[in-house]
Amino acid sequence: MIVVNFKTYKEATGYKAISLARICRRVSEETKVRIVAVPQVADLRSCVETGAECWVQHVDTAEQGKKTGWITVEDVEEAGARGTLLNHAEHKLTAELVKSIAEQTRGMAFELCLCAADEKEAVELDKLQSNYLAYEPPELIGSRDKSVASEKPEIIEKVVKAVGVSVLIGAGVHSGDDVRVGLKLGAKGVLLATDVVLAENPERELRELAEGFK
């Protein structure tokens, strides 16, 4: 699977988010590779209406009711989100908060992907029994010439062997070769943003990544 994190890039905000979600849906349908679009919450419902599979970038543990400014699981699920990223390097959470959200979503038809910066954090997060664990070394996030696949293949292999859930790899992923390396080492897919969102031709870039699954 390919998870495309829209982040808060202007190139993936508002109408541009809708356009990118359509690309995700189209490439997924034509290549038969599962592609998940992860827009900002404000763009979620519009992106869901394109037919793309969508997650959100974060949820809170707040219950519905007398609360202001929080993102509830119930709200985004009702809007069509089928899962969420959590604990991304750009939005780190306390261990207690991650555990609370994991417990809240367990048993729901709502997938949880926890992000880990290294092998140690991956092992700790694995105890929470999420659906996916994304290994992303922070120093490589956004890189255009180095990727987790080229720089840390040995850590990918260690993480895959150390945890019991499906592993995604991220940080600098930018080619079908990166995808192939990850799959060979036991990962189930990739989590990325920059390579697709900021590409001159996002659809062409996404198709190249999908080629890595063949």
Q: Could you give the residue numbers annotated as active site?
A: 88, 136
Q: What CA–CA distance (Å, rounded) separates 1 from 165?
A: 14
Phi first, then psi: give them for residue 21, nearest 5 degrees: -65, -40
Q: Report the 10 Å Cβ neighbour count for 200.
A: 6
| Distance from C-alpha of 34 to C-alpha of 49, rounded to nearest angstrom | 17
Structure tokens at 131: 């659906």
Please say whether the beta carbons of 190 and 170 come within 8 A: yes
- Is the Cβ–Cβ distance between 132 and 168 less than 8 Å? yes
